[in-house]
Structure 1
């Protein structure tokens, strides 16, 4: 359980750091690029993957390339979601993205659909609607209102597709350490291209704060992955407990951080969506 708590805490602290980025004058794009420098170094040290395993897994490269492109771009969407919709909605949208991977499991990977999973999927989509529902008070707030639901939806879809691609990589037989290193290297290259373009156009300047934030972001991001894997190793016969504990822990800690620390306000629809999200996670874990 300590590993689960540490993994959930790292996940929520990533959102807290993204929430504080503007106040601390941190360039999110640069921080994300530095984050992948840390992720590449940490993956190399922690897993010491053999390059030969990647050269042999030719079937996995389309999915790995997709992951390399999606990881940095969905990180930007997560930052936008935290900024416009808040930590609570963003964390729940990220957790509910498992609905996409479950639908893919039924449609693409031949997994049977149980009553509990069916109920969990239905509750999950209802929760998503409740969480992003935020009617604007006037026509002048239309753009801001749109950002509050567009970004969480992008997070929901993006992380769901990432999970499906990761399953494709696992099917190809690529060891976890080698897969993580390849994804992080590709994501770093994409991030460098994006930031190089911004620097060339004068849209950004290199800054020490962005470097420091990126290094911290990378440690938290990798810590989330590492502690989650350690939780599975510590509880090898209880994967459902690990899955449910991680998701419910992130939702609970995210709600606590968002509402208690940042004074995020939730409407009745949002609160109902949060309750449905917890129900959905419980049903999916049981199923």
Structure 2
């Protein structure tokens, strides 16, 4: 259970750091780039196999790793930007509910069995995201930010679907750590290329907070996955229960922090979205 709590803490920490960065006007993209190199370093330090560039380049997962690395930098930027502009609670719900996209992908591509309960869970997940992002009396600028969670929902869902495809068809058990670290590294390299077109962002590396937040988010990013895997291996629960408890814990912890420390306000409609999100997680991971 301690590993599951550490995974929830790591994931929640990421959203909190993004919000703190916004309050201190710390540039987002340089932090995200550093985050991936920090996560890459953590992964390589924990990898106990023999590192070989030739082995990596000849691996069956090399091409899908490039795809995932490209999407990761976009997806994580959207998570950070959405957290800062739409709030921790909304960003977390959109992020966690994107799980329905790889579920749909698995049903359509791998011909996994569907059911009435699974269909109900998917419908509730979509409705929960829509309700969670609705705001009354929004200005034009606020309406623009309301679309961010929906875009993030789609991109993260596509990333998770690509990871599902890689795990199912290309990545062996012994290559999981290497595959993950290499994808993180690619995301960081792509981020550096993007930064090269914006000299202003390069100057941000002179800010110690950029390095502090970048390294911290990288460790939290890696830890969220690392501790989740450990909890899957050692909790004694079925994987569906672990995923369900993990997602519920992250949603509830993030919303509690958002309301207590960042004074984020949720309307009754938003709260109904939160409730539906939790019900959807329960259906999709605990009951199906």
Q: What TM-score do the two structures reach when normalised by structure 1? A: 0.93
| Alignment partners' CA distance in 2, 1:237 and 1:131 | 30
Cα distance, 1:265 vs structure 2: 0.7
Q: Which residue of 2 aligns with 1:86?
A: 87
Distance in 2, Cα, partners of 1:173 & 1:211: 32
| 3-state DSSP of counterpart to 1:130 | helix
1:124 is displaced (CA, Å) by 0.6
In 2, Cα distance between equivalents of 1:94 and 1:103: 16
Note the C-alpha offset of 1:191.
1.1
> Are the structure 2 counterparts of residues 172 and 255 from structure 1 closer, same or farther at C-alpha, using a change threshold of 3 Å?
same
Q: Does 1:173 align with 2:175?
A: no
- Equivalent residue number for residue 136 of structure 2: 135
Q: CA deviation at 1:235?
A: 2.8
Compute the displacement of 1:122 (Å).
1.1
Give the 5 Å matches for 1:28-177: 28-49=28-49, 50-51=51-52, 53-58=55-60, 60-137=61-138, 141-147=139-145, 149-170=146-167, 171-174=169-172, 175-177=175-177
- Return the alpha-carbon distance in structure 2 between the equivalents of residues 26 and 213 of structure 1: 9
Structure 1 residues 133 and 267, CA, compared in 2 at 3 Å: closer, same or farther? Answer: same
Task: Compute the displacement of 1:267 (Å).
Answer: 1.3
CA-atom RMSD in angstroms: 1.7
1:55 deviation in Å? Answer: 3.4
1:214 counterpart residue number: 214
Instruction: Kindly indicate whether the alpha-carbon contact (under 8 Å) linking 2:29 and 2:201 is maintained by their aligned counterparts in 1.
Output: no
Q: Does 1:205 align with 2:204?
A: yes
Distance 1:226 1:102 in 2: 22
Q: Cα distance, 1:236 vs. partner?
A: 5.2
C-alpha contact 1:10 1:221 (8 A) present in aligned 2: yes
CA deviations 1:46-86 (Å, max 9, x no partner) are 1245446533433x233211111111111111111111211
How big is the shift at 1:22?
Answer: 2.5
Shift of 1:123: 0.8
- Structure 1's unaligned 5+ residue stretches are none
Asked whether the 8 Å contact 2:98–2:156 carries over to 1, the reply is: yes
Aligned partners of 2:195 and 2:202 also within 8 Å? no
For the structure 1 residues 195 and 166, does the alpha-carbon distance in structure 2 shift closer, same or farther, using more than 3 Å as the test? same
**Does the 8 Å contact 2:196/2:202 carry over to 1?**
no
Aligned residues: 281
CA deviation map 1:18-52 (0-9, x unaligned): 00102223211111111111111111111245446
* Pair 1:273–1:202, CA change in 2 (3 A): closer
- Conserved 8 A contact 2:94-2:152: yes
Per-residue deviation at 1:196?
A: 2.2
